Structure 1
């Protein structure tokens, strides 16, 4: 329950501060967390070992892992600041996008529904707020948190500006499918095995348990899949809208889901490698044994 109270109090107090003041505080908090949470540190270092490869030095791994912790702290700053965000000012002054007019709007105009498929890069929850400047609302499915009150609080904060954030559940999936069939936009994450259907697929050179639900939803609804990724740039974000995925159908539903999920993971890999310090995943993606001393950590 302490996490609930911490986020609730922060949303009423620290969240009112401008991000130019919040972010430096978060950078300090992230550095402290890096040294005080050895379990999380080992998981992040192991993930980065797969991203950066065996040629990465311990110093490079540690430097990148510290960036991950700082960016996680900035994510929480964005979360508690969300109710006070000026969407139009954010869109005009702090959001740079590529592919919005070339890929997103043409896909939306087809009326088939659009799945924005992303990963935990930068802050996709903040990036999607920019769509509100165009009057476009999104249904986003999120990781269920415990206790349930915490999940409800976090999703309320995420939804304050007009989008709908729902935990992954039967009801949440039904809401997403209904939105797509009405020609709307759904935001999903494809880089963590949280809840729902999954499969072991190669990712960054090693098999990992990855979510296959987003592609299954696309195949069942006929929605267009747009890979979308964000990166922090100073106090703002740079967003890349990838061209629509060509969803292939040639085998059974299971075969098609696996083949198209693998194609998304290959796209995701290229973006994760662009700036691994912005891949804010604190859970171990690969079920390898924790390396105790391989990264220069005692």
Structure 2
């Protein structure tokens, strides 16, 4: 109940604040989160060590703090989404590339599209780029507890027309139907949550990666379009749809899934190497023992 009330206050009260004040508060919360949440902080450090294996501690520390700051900005984005002026957002806060070439071109000829993304930038805000282009989109989200919080989050996310559902049997059926009808579905491919998975190399070390999005695309004949977003400063979001992943199909579905996944992982690695601070995953991706120095040895790493 407490968690729900905290998010209710953020979305229903703080979301009404002027943007500079709202994002200023979000930055403070991100700093406090880094200082006061040792578990997520260690997880972020471990994830970043895989992405930036040769980085000195000082750079890892700066990047980890930036991750927490961007998490704060992410929730500020959601808080103001229902009251956001879409026209102003499109003019002043959104840059998008590749959508016409790689998404609309497939939709216009009746081919479904899987927009395969990751927890970078803000996928919910980037998805708003599809609205002025009249490209209907259905997105699947990670369920959170309590259930009423999950419902509130998805209600906020769908404020302007992009459909959101928590992952589960109903959403799986909706995905298949949407793709077979030539529609667009947005899915995440950087973290194993539920569904099919495969042990694959990611930044040189094997870990479990979700294969459901690739598998459903191959089963339905949908285009697989890696799509990533990035934050530019506090307010600006850049959304980029990359060329589709094309593979030579065989009669072995799992082999094809692996081939396509390795291509997606290669593109994801390039994205994360370029902008590691944009990767907002607070859980351990490699299930490794976190290797952040303990506060007693490195007290400065818990400072804000």
Q: Give the TM-score taking structure 2 as reference length.
A: 0.94
Matching residue of 2:165: 166
Matching residue of 2:272: 272
Asked if 1 retains the 8 angstrom alpha-carbon contact of 2:118 and 2:189, the reply is yes
1:1-298 correspondence runs (5 A): 1-53=1-53, 55-234=54-233, 235-293=235-293, 297-298=298-299
CA distance in 2, matches of 1:156, 1:243: 31
CA distance in 1, matches of 2:133, 2:42: 42
Asked if 2 retains the 8 angstrom alpha-carbon contact of 1:248 and 1:260, the reply is no
Q: What's the CA shift string for 1:67-93, capped at 9, x where partnerless?
A: 000000111111121111222221121
SS at match of 2:9: helix
SS at match of 1:133: coil
Q: Give, in angstroms, the shift of residue 136 of structure 1.
A: 2.3
CA distance in 2, matches of 1:223, 1:292: 41
Q: Give, in angstroms, the shift of residue 109 of structure 1.
A: 1.4
Q: Give, in angstroms, the shift of residue 102 of structure 1.
A: 2.5
CA distance in 1, matches of 2:214, 2:160: 28
Q: Give, in angstroms, the shift of residue 135 of structure 1.
A: 2.4
Asked if 1 retains the 8 angstrom alpha-carbon contact of 2:112 and 2:223, the reply is yes
CA distance in 1, matches of 2:91, 2:247: 33
Q: Give, in angstroms, the shift of residue 204 of structure 1.
A: 1.2
Q: What's the CA shift string for 1:199-247, capped at 9, x where partnerless?
A: 1101111111110000001011111111111111121111111011104
SS at match of 2:115: strand
SS at match of 1:83: coil
Extract unaligned runs of 5+ from structure 2: 300-304
Moved runs in structure 1, 4+ residues, more than 4 A?
A: none
Q: Give, in angstroms, the shift of residue 251 of structure 1.
A: 4.1
CA distance in 2, matches of 1:150, 1:248: 43
Asked if 1 retains the 8 angstrom alpha-carbon contact of 2:46 and 2:292, the reply is no
SS at match of 1:144: coil
SS at match of 2:285: coil
CA distance in 2, matches of 1:171, 1:203: 30
Asked if 2 retains the 8 angstrom alpha-carbon contact of 1:88 and 1:130, the reply is no
Asked if 1 retains the 8 angstrom alpha-carbon contact of 2:140 and 2:187, the reply is yes
CA distance in 2, matches of 1:297, 1:86: 45
Q: What's the CA shift string for 1:142-198, capped at 9, x where partnerless?
A: 101112111111111111111111011011011111111111110000001111111
| RMSD (Å) for aligned C-alpha atoms | 1.5
CA distance in 2, matches of 1:151, 1:158: 11
CA distance in 2, matches of 1:201, 1:215: 14
CA distance in 2, matches of 1:170, 1:18: 39
